[in-house]
Amino acid sequence: MELSVELSGDVAVVGLFVDELDASNSAEFKQNIASVLAQHRKVVIDLAEVRFIDSSGLGAMLSCLRQLTEKGGDLKLCGLSRSVRAAFELVRLHRVLDIYTTRAQAVGAFQS
Q: Note the pLDDT tens digit of each residue in 6-58.
A: 999 999 999 999 999 999 999 999 999 999 999 999 999 999 999 999 999 99
What pLDDT does 108 receive? 97
pTM: 0.96
Burial class (CB in 10 A: 0-12, 13-18, 19+), 10: exposed
- pLDDT tens by residue, 86-95: 999 999 999 9
- Residues sharing a CB contact under 8 Å with residue 11, sequence separation 6 or more, in sequence order: 40, 42, 43, 44, 107, 110
Catalogue all structural domains in the chain, each as residue range(s) with its CATH number: 2-111 (3.30.750.24)
Cα(111)–Cα(39) distance, rounded to whole angstroms?
19
In sequence order, what are the beta bridge partners of 43? 12, 75
